Amino acid sequence: MSLTPAVRSKIHIARQQLGLDDEAYRAVLARITGQRSSKDLNATQAGRLLQEFERLGWKPKPGGKAKGKPHNFKTLPGEIEVIQAQLTNMGLPWSYADAIAKQMFRVQRVSWLRKPEQLQAILAALHVEQEKRGLLATVEELCKALGIDAPNRLAGLEQLPEGWERQRPILRSLVETLHAVAIDRGVL
């Protein structure tokens, strides 16, 4: 599935604001996503790229809110405010929470959920996503400290399964392993 024009635009705005020439931009793109063009990115790769741009100093537009806030926001249970905070923190639109609601409860919109336990399940799913993103960022930082562009460049980690970037147990193990290697090599 290709990126929305808004996400692609955000990538190019960040690139411009960071002052990256074509060569530097493509180097970051390849290091973070393994791709040479933003048109080849999926949503996860685009998210990682935007996180890297932020780490490099790009500041997304201030006062960003999760887009697509439900019209009935003020009438919903209190958990909805925490959902909004998590979405905003990760830079995700409300449609992300809507997709979770659809997958978990077969309900088109998170704003249509009425049971507190349903909203708590959405919160739990968002927490898992936040944890995955944090672990992946830590893996990337440790790889950078070790001077490698990906964990599978390290001896013994060449056979990482496809989709390892989205699997918490693998990400946790990678953080532990890379941290131990970094300490052993005296990089940390």
Q: Let me know whether 140 and 174 are in one domain.
A: yes
Number of domains composing the chain: 2
Q: Let me know whether 130 and 48 are in one domain.
A: no
State yes or no: pLDDT of 63 exceeds 60.
Answer: no
For tokens 């393994």, the residue is 34
Q: What is the mean pLDDT of the segment spanning 95-122?
A: 92
Q: Let me know whether 70 and 45 are in one domain.
A: no
Q: Is 151 exposed, middle or buried (0-12, 13-18, 19+ CB in 10 A)?
A: buried
Q: Let me know whether 180 and 155 are in one domain.
A: yes
Q: What are the CA-CA distances from residue 70 to residues 65, 97, 167 (Å)?
A: 12, 11, 30
> Residue 25 corresponds to which amino acid?
Y
Range of the domain at 151: 63-188
pLDDT interval class at 76 (50, 70, 90) = confident
In angstroms, the CA 179 to CA 183 distance is: 6
Q: What letter does residue 127 receive in the DSSP assignment? A: H
Nearest to 52 by CA among 140, 170, 155: 140
Q: Could you give the angle at the alpha carbon of 42 between the alpha carbons of 122 and 32, nearest 5°?
A: 105
Q: Let me know whether 49 and 84 are in one domain.
A: no
Question: What proportion of the chain, given as a percentage, has pLDDT over 90?
Answer: 34
Q: Let me know whether 90 and 40 are in one domain.
A: no
In angstroms, the CA 26 to CA 144 distance is: 17
State yes or no: pLDDT of 105 exceeds 90.
Answer: yes
In angstroms, the CA 184 to CA 81 distance is: 44
State yes or no: pLDDT of 183 exceeds 90.
Answer: yes
Q: Let me know whether 176 and 99 are in one domain.
A: yes
pLDDT, one tens digit per residue, over 160-172 is 888 899 999 999 9
pLDDT of residue 181: 92
Q: What are the CA-CA distances from residue 113 to residues 78, 93, 110 (Å)?
A: 12, 17, 6
pLDDT, one tens digit per residue, over 1-48 is 466 666 777 788 788 788 888 888 889 999 988 988 888 888 778 888
Q: What letter does residue 64 receive in the DSSP assignment? A: -
Q: Let me know whether 97 and 48 are in one domain.
A: no
